Amino acid sequence: MVATMKKFVFISFHKDYDRFLHALRDMGMIHVAEQDSMKVDEEKLQDYLSTSKRLNESIKKLKQLRDKKAPAPYLDADTGRGMEIPAEIEQIENKKSALYQQLQVSLKERDNLRPWGNFDPENIYRLKEEGYHVRFFIVPGKEYDPEWETQYNAVVIQKEGSKTYFITITKGTQPADELQLEEMKVPEVSLEALNKLIDSLQEKIKKEDKALKALSAEIPSAEAALKAIESDIFFTKVARSATPAAEDKLLLLQGWAPEENVAEITQYLESQDVYFRVSDPEPEDDVPIKFKNNRFMRLFEPIAELYMLPKYNEIDLTPFFAPFYMIFFGLSLGDIGYGTLLFLGATAARTFGKEKISRTMRGMLALVQILGLSTMVCGLLTGGFFGFNIYETNIPFFQNMKNQVYFDNSQMFTLSLILGVVQIMFAMFLKIVNRIKQFGWTQALSTIGWFVLLMSVIVAVLFPAIMPMGGTLHLIIMGLSAILIFFFNSPGKNPFMNFGLGLWDTYNMATGLLGDVLSYVRLFALGLSGGILASVFNSLALGLKPDNLIGGSIVFLLIFLFGHSINMFMNVLGAFVHPLRLTFVEFYKNAEFEGGGKKYNPFRK
């Protein structure tokens, strides 16, 4: 259900406004109605947003760099230290970028110099001072002319691939100018020096990588800094939500809080220099939503939030779809073995990871436990256990159970349709309650007519002795229902308009209800297909294993485990998604769920 909320209106003197906001944040119970009516320092807000973005990117990068096999212990969180981390990462990245550029240039130079071998370029310059000119040429192997060795004192240094590398040594004038060939510039460093430079650059890059990885131990500090910035952003947005009055001397702020916290909030606010008023929400107010369900129903709230939150004046459907979703999941997965694995896995995670997992994750694991138990119970209907059927064994206990709970395919098909009818009729009942709650009795009369009409048909089919189909009692009920359907679907409008709308509503109900009920066949289809695939993997494992005891056991286990891992993953995914579709489409639609509420998010650090 949705918690009852109270509206708070605050009036603060402009000089006390900032102090009041800090007090409001320290209290941490008021959901402030955010507006953009007050001018704030946009540059300051943009700085906050920019810092938040940089911190987010830094945290992602550090988590990627963290050693998964031997992680370094986290350091204690320090918000001030966390603020410095993005700049340090940027500085390291800039150093690495410069080193990489130098490395790429050096590698290219080494590739060019390697064919010439290792020599000291200073010797070339000494020869030049003595009047000798040494020039470096590269030509295709077919174009090299041996006569150049006589004419220009050419010396072949290397033949690599289709190219020939050679030098010419001349004195005085440079007759080698006559050669129209590709010439390489005299290198400035030797190959040996270049190799040392490359090794040095690679070592420096590794050093920067280690420095970057070392920062991953300070992820808690970066996350603490991010929370502080997000708190500042939230504060700034709340600050701009006030409405100025009395020539900007007074500032009006509106907020919401659960009714159960009003006494505590009132006691706190009476110690502050602020005027406030508490009232009930008006119909036009956009009231934030806070769920207030028991421990079991609370587990299904994350599923409800996947779609949409209800409006404040709507019924929270979470407690009403939760039992159905649990059953639908069990029927869709439909294997005792798979349900047992889900239950034991979630139980082990909750037991051994109690100190490491968050409260939200504990709730999710508890939901998995419940869904696993549901799968185990629903699996008893067909007897599936990792693709084997327990009712095909000669164990007396299972044979007795078969007589009590076993459902064949035809019965499972019928059960799926019955569950669809039950949930849709229940949704129509909630639709009646919802309309009465929001708009009054008159707006619910047409839906009451449809509900009574459909219930009369169901009772006539199931209990013909009490009310035979087409009998006097049944005809009277159908007649009264028709009056409500055709003449009270839009109270206040022309009767002929109502009659026309009733005909249109009848057409939509006749086609829509049939399609909605047939959608529940997927519960039977998913369970059946999963069981068939599981038995196929069992047949493969048994058929492909060799006769050797050890080898056969290994092959059987490999195929069995691999096949059932794939099948379980696919079936669990299907068992999660398809009941969601039945909930959010068939159930929500027939309950006339509108949604669009926003979550209660109190202003706090």
Q: What is the pLDDT of residues 236-289, one digit of tens each?
A: 767 777 777 776 677 777 888 888 888 888 888 777 777 778 888 887 778 888
Of the listed ranges 139-148, 166-175, 407-416, the least confidently predicted one is: 166-175
Q: What is the pLDDT of residues 50-87, one digit of tens each?
A: 888 888 888 888 888 877 776 777 888 888 888 888 88
HSE (side-chain half, CA atoms, 13 Å) at 137: 26
Quote the pLDDT of residue 37. 47
How far apart (Å, rounded) are the C-alpha atoms in residues 302 and 409?
33
Tell whether the model's pLDDT for residue 497 goes beyond 70: no
Find the angle CA(242)-CA(243)-CA(244) to the nearest 5 degrees: 115
Tell whether the model's pLDDT for residue 481 goes beyond 80: no
Tokens encoding 456: 């009369």
Tokens encoding 377: 């119970």
| Sequence-distant (≥ 6) Cβ neighbours of residue 2 within 8 angstroms | 289, 290, 291, 292, 310, 312, 314, 316
Amino acid at 167: I
What mean pLDDT comes out for the span 386-395? 83
Quote the pLDDT of residue 491. 66
How far apart (Å, rounded) are the C-alpha atoms in residues 201 and 215?
21
How far apart (Å, rounded) are the C-alpha atoms in residues 192 and 369?
66
How buried is 351 (Cβ within 10 angstroms: 0-12 exposed, 13-18 middle, 19+ buried)? exposed
| Sequence-distant (≥ 6) Cβ neighbours of residue 431 within 8 angstroms | 444, 447, 590, 591, 592
% of the chain residues with pLDDT over 70: 92
DSSP code string of 533-568 = HHHHHHHHHHHHS-SSHHHHHHHHHHHHHHHHHHHH
CB 186 within 8 A of CB 136: yes
SS3 readout for 108-119: HHHHHHHHHCCC
Local structure of residue 134 (DSSP, 8 states): E
Q: What is the pLDDT of residues 179-212, one digit of tens each?
A: 777 778 888 888 888 899 999 999 999 898 888 8
| Sequence-distant (≥ 6) Cβ neighbours of residue 514 within 8 angstroms | none
Quote the pLDDT of residue 229. 80
Sign, Cα dihedral of 28, 32, 36, 37: negative
HSE (side-chain half, CA atoms, 13 Å) at 101: 5
Tokens encoding 334: 């439909």
